[in-house]
Amino acid sequence: RNLKWIIKCRGDIDTLNAPFLEIYESLIPPEEEKAKQKQLLASLEKLVCKEWPEARLYLYGSCANSFGVSKSDIDVCLAINDADLNKSEVLLKLADILQSDNLQNVQALTRARVPIVKLRDPVTGISCDICINNVLAVVNTKLLRDYAEIDGRLRQLAFIVKHWAKSRRINETYQGTLSSYAYVLMCIHFLQQRRPAILPCLQGIEATYSVTVEDVECAFFDQVENLRNFGSHNKETIAHLVWAFFSYWAYGHDYANSVISVREGSTISKRKKDWTRRVGNDRHLICIEDPFETSHDLGRVVDKFSIRVLRGEFERAAEIMQHDPNPCIKLFEPY
């Protein structure tokens, strides 16, 4: 391991708390925006129920996991309980219905990895993606939201990391960098690893919530109101955590051998998962285990070029946090 990992944090780190909190607060969506999202969901529900009376609509992704910044698009899942359903047919039918209701830019993407219908609502100005029966995403949305309720520092850290990743253009999976979902899992894992820990491992406590989705058992402790004091022995502030997060990913993480696992609340070895070699397109150059689909590495999109970009950005951020006189500006400078 690189010795830099045990470097001491700069002495004036706490002067950075106020500016980081200010950035965090500026990113929180205002209440009106949430109300508009609900309004759009309700009108979509009405339309959908005319065609499929049994169907349900669920919000997932950042509009529902509490890690959504202001002006995000919304992600909606249409759940239809029908074993031999043809997703493409449903999507095309749905696109028809939406189009005739004057929604804008309606587009069915039936060949995408996750097939969706895209649309824009002219009343609220919100854009929206609708997928079919992606119930695992609805469940992992709940897991993320439950973690966020345990300690406020998770939401602060994740907003700052997402904002940084978007500014530096490394939040683009089709270019080999990581999804927002992956960055939030990195933050959760990191806070599980602090000593004393700031977050528990919800899948390691006796489950109070359990569903089986596509043969995957999703079970975890969800009575998070009982865990509100969990992290209170750890007094680290947001600036210190931002510094430590980037130092960890720049110098502390063992890319060659380790997988981060929110499910286990620790790192696990690549060997144990058989993620040591390239299989098909999965290169496992940075390994982030999905908490439920455990054979799924969210780092699979990263290739030998983009891993250098990513690690370069982690190092840049760590250097700025350690030495720059004005990290809150420099960190987010557009790439």
Give which of ligand GTP, Mg ion, none residue 158 binds (C-beta under 5 to 8 Å, depending on kind): none
Answer for which of 23, 37, 58, 61 binds ligand GTP (CB under 6 A) is 61
Q: Which stretch binds ligand GTP (CB under 6 A): 118-126, 134-142, 205-213, 231-239?
A: 134-142
- CA atoms of 308 and 177, how far apart (whole Å): 10
Q: Which stretch binds ligand GTP (CB under 6 A): 58-66, 80-88, 211-219, 281-289?
A: 58-66
Retrieve residue 288's tokens. 């982030």
- Answer for the pair 260, 267: CB distance below 8 angstroms, yes or no: yes
Q: Give, in order, the Cα–Cα distances in Å from 329 to each of 162, 200, 321, 325, 326.
A: 15, 32, 11, 10, 6
Give which of Mg ion, ligand GTP, none residue 140 binds (C-beta under 5 to 8 Å, depending on kind): ligand GTP
Answer for which of 159, 181, 220, 246 binds ligand GTP (CB under 6 A) is 181
**Angle (CA) 147 149 153, round 5°:** 85
Alpha helices in the chain (DSSP H): 17-27, 31-51, 87-100, 135-150, 152-167, 180-193, 238-247, 270-273, 306-323, 327-330
Is the peptide bond between 200 and the residue preceding it cis, with omega within 30 degrees of 0?
A: no
Give which of ligand GTP, Mg ion, none residue 141 binds (C-beta under 5 to 8 Å, depending on kind): ligand GTP
Retrieve residue 252's tokens. 């502390």
Radius of gyration of the chain (CA): 21
The reply on whether position 327 binds Mg ion by CB under 5 A is no
Q: Provide the mask over 93-132, with x wherever binding to Mg ion is found by CB under 5 A and - wherever it is not.
A: ----------------------------------------
**Residue 227 Cβ vs Mg ion, minimum distance, rounded to whole Å:** 26
**Residue 43 Cβ vs ligand GTP, minimum distance, rounded to whole Å:** 21
Answer for which of 60, 61, 64, 231 binds Mg ion (CB under 5 A) is 61
**Residue 65 Cβ vs Mg ion, minimum distance, rounded to whole Å:** 9
The reply on whether position 179 binds ligand GTP by CB under 6 A is yes
Which of the residues 140 through 159 are near ligand GTP (CB under 6 A)?
140-141
Q: Provide the mask over 1-40, with x wherever binding to ligand GTP is found by CB under 6 A and - wherever it is not.
A: ----------------------------------------
The reply on whether position 66 binds ligand GTP by CB under 6 A is no
- Answer for the pair 285, 302: CB distance below 8 angstroms, yes or no: yes
Which of 206, 162, 168 has its CA nearest to residue 62?
162
Give which of Mg ion, ligand GTP, none residue 290 binds (C-beta under 5 to 8 Å, depending on kind): ligand GTP
The reply on whether position 124 binds ligand GTP by CB under 6 A is no
User: Which CB atom, from 239 or from 301, has the smaller least distance to ligand GTP?
Assistant: 301
- Answer for the pair 48, 58: CB distance below 8 angstroms, yes or no: no
Which of 234, 233, 202 has its CA nearest to residue 218?
202
CB count, 10 Å around CB of 245? 24
Backbone angles phi, psi at 38, to 5 degrees: -60, -40
Taking the CA atoms of 150, 153, 156 and 162 in sequence, report the sign of the dihedral they define.
Answer: negative
**Angle (CA) 36 42 48, round 5°:** 135
The reply on whether position 99 binds ligand GTP by CB under 6 A is no
Give contact residues for ligand GTP (rule: CB under 6 A): 60-62, 65, 67-68, 72, 75, 136-137, 140-141, 179-181, 290, 293, 296, 298
Give contact residues for Mg ion (rule: CB under 5 A): 61-62, 75
